[in-house]
Amino acid sequence: MKNLFEAGKLLLLDMAATLFFLVLYLLTHNVTLSVVLGMVLGIAQIGWQFARRKPIDTMQWMSLFLVLGAGTVTLITEDPRFVMIKPSVIYIAVGIVMLKRGWMNRYLPPIAIELVPDIAIIVGYAWSGLMFFSAALNVVVALNFDVATWSAAMSIYGIVSKAVMFLIGYAVMRSIGRRRRLAGDRPRDVAAMPG
């Protein structure tokens, strides 16, 4: 269970600036304040990593650039439709990054990397698929509903869909890993697998 919480913590930290922006926007309905503070949090997180001389992972860089890029365009346009469509752009960018083979390794404990690296690759691709589906769904909801309906629906969907995917991925990898450990099996050579 400790590994589940550690992986969840890393994922939340990577998405903190984006989640902070969304929560602040839903609470205040102030686009400028939400964007600026989300951007400040994203910069502060990377600055903290630099100050501690910790490596900065691809997902962390991607999160920062998305927050800065999308935030800047939002500030320039002040267009609520852009705010509503912006998550689709973010979902697509995240989905593309998640197509990188092995991106999940940062979130996995050493035993999982040893026992289920092949399953982690499949789960990583499933995450990417979820991001692309979420992008399409967001466009449909943003173009067909008002801002209040969109923000409620997509906030609930966003949290629930990611939590369900996280729990399913964790349960599948843990179950297969446990079975392989008990059987003394190791996955075939992951480098030789298509991907």
Distance CA 23, CA 191 (A): 41
Tokens 């400028």 correspond to: 32
CA R_g for the chain: 18
Confidence of residue 116 (pLDDT cuts 50, 70, 90): very high
Lowest mean pLDDT among 5-19, 99-113, 124-138: 5-19
How confident is the model over 1-15, as pLDDT tens digits? 555 566 566 666 766
For the beta carbon of residue 177, count every other beta carbon within 10 angstroms: 21
Confidence of residue 158 (pLDDT cuts 50, 70, 90): confident
pLDDT at 10: 64
Sign of the Cα torsion 110, 111, 112, 116 reads positive
Mean pLDDT value of segment 185-193: 56
Alpha carbon 119 to chain centroid distance?
19
Q: Are 42 and 21 in contact (CB under 8 A)?
A: no
Confidence of residue 149 (pLDDT cuts 50, 70, 90): confident
